[in-house]
Structure 1
Amino acid sequence: MADPTSVTPEDEPQRWAERIRAAAAQGQRLRVQGGRTKAFLRTDDSAHATLDTRTWTGIVAHEPTELVVTARAGTPLAELEAALAQHGQYLPFEPPHFGAGATVGGMVAAGLAGPARAAVGGVRDYVLGARLLNGRGQHLTFGGQVMKNVAGYDVSRALAGSRGALGVITEVSLKVLPLPAGEATLRLRLDQASALQRLAHWRGQPLPLNASVWFDDGTGGALWVRLRGAAAAVRAASVRLLADADGEVLPTAAAQTLWPAVREQTLPFFTTPPTPRHDLWRLSLPATTPALHESLPTLVEWLGALRWVWASLEQAETVRAQAAQAGGHAWLWRAAPERTEPLARHSAPPAAMLALQQRVRHAFDPHGVFDTAFWEV
């Protein structure tokens, strides 16, 4: 193995490959990590050797006219977003950072998207290509830098949400979009049931809906809706929605504070649990699902498809069962401080899906080198 003191940054993937091959030979597990801003999602924090991607940084290529950017895995996410903003471009899926150390590789591996997810798609919808070190230490290339570049399996998109279980993402190419010409945020005075009904109606209309969030702000509940698109379309839609519900246009400064707080979960709803005996659940449901937990503190995103619910320890299985009955699934996002018995973050997938996941993992990592704590929670 090369002497780390003599390795230049350009040699990082080669050095990582050597570490992976050594770990495979020694039966060692490696934990891939970037800025650790999403480490709170782990349930298993047992000691593994870590492979830190933050030494492999830089924007490799950016073609503003082609709406494509390629960056190394350790590149700070804030740095990438700032570079795009200089050209009037952005990542439409609004990935959460959850801290100043968020990296591009961590963004893809976590696969998390922000408020606009239901309207524009998720991380995997914008991944054009990627480079990956697998469990054999092979540096593989998938996809490319154009949308129509699919030959065989679209592995690059499968890496979105893989959480480090398939290998080390070293580089990723992403589709980006121009910043919208028009934008407005409306605050509408509606309770949860009424908000879901209005969203269901508006989703079927030709409206430039981009994001929504409902929660009780102390007034009995309000729905915030963000419109994005052509300036004329946004103005017309604002008039239309305000005719359907009592509300007003939010000042620009207030809107610029609201949506990052939703994305980064810094709203009081997220930061102040009802009691130390309450878990925070993330429920992915069909958008048409009516209000399930009106007696529990709830925040609704993604035009109705994402529900955040605070539930007591005793209500955990009820929340999970109701999500399944509605055709969705529940994720234990943040366990209560007073929870003493471990609880699986996810329900077990169907046997066929579990078998497929295991085959995919074995194909990428036959020696079990990579930590699967994220994958299995």
Structure 2
Amino acid sequence: MDGSAELRAQVREAFAKGQSLEIRGSGSKSFYGRPVCADGVVDLGRHRGILAYEPSELFLTARAGTPLREIDAALAERGQMLPFEPPRFGPNASIGGTIACGLSGPRRPYAGAVKDHILGVRVLNGLGEDLRFGGTVLKNVAGYDVARLMAGSLGSLALILEVTVKVLPRPAVEHTRVLECSAAGALEAMRRWALQSTPISASAYLDGVLYLRLSGQEHRVRNFAETIGGESLKDDAGTAFWEDLREQRLDFFQKDDSLWRLSLPAAAPTQPEHFGVSLWEWGGQQRWLRAVSDPTAVRQWAHRQGGHTTCFRAGATPNADTDIFEPLPRPLFALHQRLKAAFDPKGILNPGRFYAGL
């Protein structure tokens, strides 16, 4: 269903009156980011539908409100998938919210992030202007890549109407191996494998166990599995583990503690144990922490490693003084402000969702 004309009219009216708008899809990721206090709501839930899908050209175009489950179903019929394996966090999660939040799943370090697979977008800026950026193939992207700028912007720059993404074939075989080892041993192994050509498509370390998903041609997966040893998870159990990790259904996530995400370079060491209970993904480059008692110390440590932190979920007793996202240096914050002013001069779209003042 195409509701772009109504959406455009709503944004133009809000701009004329100087009224702020909260952009809302299915609400599956409403917990992510700062709360929005707005005068009205833009509902993208009915703006849905797959507009174009060319399996041979490896791209798909859909309206922002299109549920991921519909996209997954269409791709599965042709043996294809979204390469960045996005988390849903709800049955009605949409492609627009996925792009706006910029969240990727277990396959991210091996297949690329959300932004790496965005080919084009159609958006409404804060003036209600209908704009298109990018195309349907990577070679169409020239100059400043505005389409990818939408990934992770949390609706603070523009309202996404349509998105074109690159898709890829599903692997012929997927197999999960589990190896018992120390945290230091897991890091060393993952760094060693990162320098080699391997069929690893996901990794996680939890409670002294390293989980590895292998994807590709059967002989290559089988040979690597024999090389690294460990034990196998049955296909259904392996699939369930990675889906539960992606959707944060593992027991690790089923607590009322605040949940912090650390984004770190591959060379980062193990973090101090007193920081909290941890689960690692992406070869140790994404680390989840629960029961964090000193967020300032965690942020300082991550910064020293060349990384950054996010308070992903505030928990049952959120601290109103805690910044959700890493505080920005003044010059970088000024750049964000200039981008916001260029796309949304009156600051009416999702005010404060990303940072206060944006």
Classify the TM-score, shorter chain.
over 0.9
1:47: Cα distance to partner? 4.5
Task: Name the counterpart of 1:356.
Answer: 335
Residue 197 of structure 1, CA deviation: 1.2
Q: What does residue range 80-91 of structure 1 map to in structure 2 within 5 Å?
A: 80-91=71-82
- Counting only pairs closer than 5 Å after superposition, residues 9-88 of structure 1 correspond to structure 2 as 9-10=1-2, 12-88=3-79
- Gap change, CA 1:23 and 1:283, over 3 Å in 2: same
The alignment's TM-score, normalised by the length of structure 2, stands at 0.96
The answer for the alignment partner of 2:89 in structure 1 is: 98
> In structure 2, what is the equivalent of residue 271 of structure 1?
254
2:127 is aligned to: 136
Contact 2:36 2:350 in 1 (8 A): no
* 1:284-299 → structure 2 map (5 Å cutoff): 284-295=263-274, 296-299=276-279
1:317-356 alignment, distance < 5 Å: 317-356=296-335
**Residue 262 of structure 1 aligns with which residue?**
245
| Residue 308, structure 1, aligned to residue 288, structure 2 | yes
Residues 325 and 150 of structure 1: is their aligned pair in 2 closer, same or farther, counting only changes over 3 Å? same
C-alpha separation between the residues in 1 aligned to 2:351 and 2:57?
36
Distance 1:339 1:371 in 2: 21
CA contact (8 A) 2:262 2:288 kept: yes
Amino acid at match of 2:252: F
Deviates more, 1:145-154 or 1:331-340: 331-340
Partner of 1:231: 218
How much has 1:338 moved relative to structure 2? 2.7
Instruction: For residues 187-232 of structure 1, give each alpha carbon's deviation from its aligned partner in whole angstroms, at most 9, with x where no partner exists.
Output: 001122211111111111221221101111xxxx100011112222
Letter in 2 for 1:226: R
TM-score, normalisation: structure 1? 0.91
Q: State the partner residue of 1:4.
A: none
8 Å CA contact 2:277–2:289 kept in 1: the answer is yes
Q: What is the one-letter code of the residue matched to 1:168?
A: L
Say whether residues 1:374 and 2:346 are aligned partners.
no
Runs of 4+ in structure 1 off by over 6 angstroms are none
In the superposition, relative to structure 1, how do residues 340 and 127 fare at CA in structure 2: closer, same or farther (>3 Å)? closer
Question: 1:254 is paired with a residue of what secondary structure?
Answer: helix
Q: 1:154 aligns with which of 145, 153, 158?
A: 145
May I ask how many residue pairs the two structures share in their alignment?
355
Partner of 1:6: none
Q: Distance in 2 between matches of 1:48 and 1:214?
A: 44
| 1:24–1:368 Cα contact (<8 Å) kept | no
Aligned CA RMSD, in angstroms, stands at: 1.4
Q: CA deviation at 1:166?
A: 1.0
Q: Is the 8 A contact 1:182 1:232 kept in 2?
A: no
Q: 1: distance between equivalents of 2:280 and 2:353?
A: 25
Q: What CA deviation, in whole Å up to 9, does each residue of 1:99-149 have, x standing for no partner? A: 012011111111100001111111111110110011111110111111210
Percent of paired sites with the same residue: 43
CA drift of 1:151 comes to: 2.5
Shift of the 300–340 alpha-carbon distance from structure 1 to 2, 3 Å rule, reads closer
Secondary structure of the residue that 1:112 maps to in structure 2?
coil
Contact 2:21 2:38 (8 Å CA) reproduced? no
* Separation in structure 2 between the aligned mates of residue 27 and residue 169 of structure 1, nearest angstrom: 20
How many angstroms apart in 2 are the aligned matches of 1:84 and 1:375? 32
In structure 2, distance between residues paired with 1:341 and 1:14:
38
Gaps of 5+ in 1: 1-8
Give the gaps of 5 or more residues in structure 2: none
State the shift of 1:340 in Å. Answer: 4.5
Any idea what SS the aligned residue of 1:237 has? helix
- Give me the whole-angstrom Cα distance separating, in 1, the residues matched to 2:66 and 2:319: 37
